[in-house]
Structures are given as structure tokens and as C-alpha cells.
Amino acid sequence: MTCPVLIVGGGPSGLSAAHALAAAGQRVVLVEKAEQLGGAPIQSGYAKLVPSGEWAKDAIGGMVRRVETDSRIEIRRRVTVKGFSGSPGDFRVTLSDGTVLEAGAAILCTGFTHFDSVNKPEWGFGTYPDVVTTTQVEQMLSSGRGVRRPSDGREPERVAILLCVGSRDRQIGREWCSKICCTVSANIAMEIREAVPRCNVYIYYMDIRTFGLYEDLYYWESQEKHRVKYIKARIAEVTSDGRRLIVKGEDTLVKRPISIPFDMVVHAIGMDPNVDNMTLSAVFDVKLQKHGHIQKASVYSNTSATSRPGVFVAGAATGPETIDDSIAQGQSAAMAALTLVRGAMMEAAE
């Protein structure tokens, strides 16, 4: 019997890795610091996922149930890894509850942290209750209560979505594109229009990056079918006239100032490195890249490897990532870990 593979993080990539390993007959110990598995889609209450259109509670919830009912997967909730020593095939793991166990390999599926909009105060979050984030709108939609202004519970008639909040912004130290925000925002805009047909939705952008097949499914469909309006602009601030929010800035296509009233303003928040990455780097002795994400080894030899042999990584732990690609990377990391563990077992038997 081989040592189990340790998986840290129970989001989409961790669930995918755990299932792939268990399906191959490999024992798994899945460690999750929260009570609930599912990562951001479940813990943050996402609504319909891109690009499948499935509700997160159904799609990711199904992945959770599949893992929870597999006898080859041991789940440890409300636990973190405090110590990790040894070598590939023979690691010693110390958990925060005092448990010590052996592992043949480890896969870090620790995901990301949503950008906190209080770090962009000039755009009104934390000052005006009707300035919200895309995550908060997702929660409104997934709750079934519809989209309503937090201040008074009314359905909005005009909504502005501001892109790149916490992304592509050197002034606040966020020099990366968060990859999925444009597509998610287009999706949310269409969902708002479906939930509140009389509501006009405007998306303010620097550039639109609905990459690949998302261009047709989200960018063009949101405009042509759902009448979402796109405005290329630089936003200076969000204020209030006492009744409505005022979005001020410059329309960069026609080179003129804008000052437009809205009932709600939505921040399309970016994906920050996991706030625990410095600790994870120290515990697992893996390197971080310059922005604080877990650094991959050579992409062309092993896309799942880190700087430490026997420790692999998948999903948004390495940078902004889609859910679909995170799931695929979880499976890839699982196969890399399985190969290592089975190889170590064969060497020990010789």
C-alpha cells in the first residue's frame, strides 16, 4: 500500500485532483482550512458559471459530493498544514490539529483571494452601500432574491460595471490581468438584464479580454441580445448626489469627460494571490513568483511541478485561472503525483 497523496485545498482543482487519484486506486488526504468544500464558487456563493451556464451549487456541488462519498479520500476540514518534511515518496506532514501523517507527494490547490475593493476607495466601495462587487451580485443572483440595491431594497434601473478593479493597476501593486473578469462581467450583465429587464447595464472598460470562444458567447451576445452597453473609459471616482451614484471619468474614445448617474455600481474585482501564500511557501519550501503566486517549474517538462520535487500545484494558486482550466490542471497534477508515488513504491520493492 502506497502512502497517500496530500492535497491542500478543496476548491475545483483540489476536488478534481482528489477524484482523479481515487479513481486510479490511490489513497488521498484532502486538507481544507474551511468547513465547506468547493472553494470560491461555493464559499462565495457564485451563480451561473462560465461557460457552461450551470449553477455553481450544482456543478461544483456535484464535485464535492463525489469526493465526500469516496472511501479512498480522507477529508480533514478546518485544518492547515504546519509542517512538511522529507523527500518524494516519503514526506512527513504535521497538521494544525496535531495530527502527523505520511504522504508520498503533495498537491497545492490553494486558489486565490478576491481583491478587496477597500483598496480602491476612490471608486466608492465602503463609502456608499450601493457600490458592490461582482461577488456580491453573484450572491444576490444565486440566492433567488434577484438584484436589489442594498440601501433600500429596490430593483435598480441603471447599473454600471467597472472592469479591472484590482487588476492591471500599478498604482496599487496589481500589475496582472485577472483573466476571467471581462467574461464574468459580461455574464453578470446578461443575468442582471434577465432578472430585471427594465434595468440598463453599462460596462466601463480599458480593454475587453473575453479571450477565445468567449468573445462570441459573452461579448457580442451581451450587446446584441441583451443590449448591454460598453463604454471605453478611464474612471476617476464614484460619488453620490444624495440620491444616486455618480460615475465620473473620461470617455477615452471621444476624449470627453463623463458624469453619469446610476442606481448601483459593481466592481469587477480581480484575483489576488492567496493571502496564505507566504506561509505556504515557508511550510512547503516552494518558491513564489514576483507577484506572490506559487511558482511553477518548467512548463514544458511538467506543468504541475513546483520548485520542490514531490510538491505539485494546480489551479489559481499559480495565478488567475478559469474554473475549467483549474479542473484540468487538477487532473494533470494528480497524474504527476501518481506517477511519482507509484515509481517510489516500485523502487522500494526492488
Q: Are residues 137 and 257 in the same domain?
A: yes
Instruction: Please report which helix (H) or strand (E) contains residue 17, including its range.
Output: helix 12-23
Kindly report the pTM of this predicted structure. 0.95
Query: Tell me, what CATH number does 186's domain have?
Result: 3.50.50.60
C-alpha–C-alpha distance, residues 322 and 183, integer Å? 10
C-alpha–C-alpha distance, residues 251 and 115, integer Å? 25
Query: Which position has the grid cell 487538477?
Result: 330
Strand order in the sheet with 105-108: 73-77, 28-32, 5-8, 105-108, 311-313
Q: Are residues 124 and 256 in the same domain?
A: yes
Which residue(s) pair with 83 in the sheet? 94
Q: Are residues 327 and 242 in the same domain?
A: no
Strands 28-32 and 73-77: parallel
Q: Are residues 16 and 101 in the same domain?
A: yes
pLDDT score of 348:
75
Query: Which cell numbers in the block locate residue 152?
Result: 433600500
Q: Are residues 170 and 227 in the same domain?
A: yes
C-alpha–C-alpha distance, residues 111 and 205, integer Å? 26
Q: Are residues 294 and 259 in the same domain?
A: no
Final residue belonging to a domain, choices 241, 270, 299: 270
Beta strand segments in the chain, E: 5-8, 28-32, 73-77, 81-87, 90-95, 100-103, 105-108, 112-114, 131-133, 158-165, 200-205, 229-240, 245-251, 256-262, 264-269, 271-273, 311-313
Would you call 257 exposed, middle or buried from its count of C-beta atoms within 10 A (0-12, 13-18, 19+)? exposed
Q: Are residues 266 and 287 in the same domain?
A: no
Query: Which cell numbers in the block locate residue 2?
Result: 502506497
Q: Are residues 127 and 107 in the same domain?
A: no
Instruction: Please report which helix (H) or strand (E) contains residue 327, including its range.
Output: helix 323-349
Q: Are residues 9 and 51 in the same domain?
A: yes
Q: Are residues 300 and 191 in the same domain?
A: no
Final residue belonging to a domain, choices 270, 288, 320: 270
Q: Are residues 29 and 92 in the same domain?
A: yes
Give SS3 for 204: strand
Final residue belonging to a domain, choices 270, 297, 314: 270
Q: Domain of residue 287: give its range.
A: 5-111+274-349
Q: What Å distances lie between residue 227 and 77, 195, 254, 318, 329, CA to CA?
A: 44, 14, 21, 36, 35
How many separate domains does the chain show? 2
C-alpha–C-alpha distance, residues 26 and 278, integer Å? 30
Amino acid at residue number 112: F
Q: Tens digit of pLDDT per residue, the chain (350 long)?
A: 579 999 999 999 999 999 999 999 999 999 999 999 999 999 999 999 999 999 999 999 999 999 999 999 999 999 999 999 999 999 999 999 999 999 999 999 999 999 999 999 999 999 999 999 999 999 999 999 899 999 999 999 999 999 999 999 999 999 999 999 999 999 999 999 999 999 999 999 999 999 999 999 999 999 999 999 999 999 999 999 999 999 999 999 999 999 999 999 999 999 999 999 999 999 999 999 999 999 999 777 788 999 999 999 999 999 999 999 999 999 999 999 999 999 888 877 77
pLDDT score of 224:
97
Q: Are residues 123 and 204 in the same domain?
A: yes
Closest by CA to 73, choosing from 149, 132, 20, 126, is 20
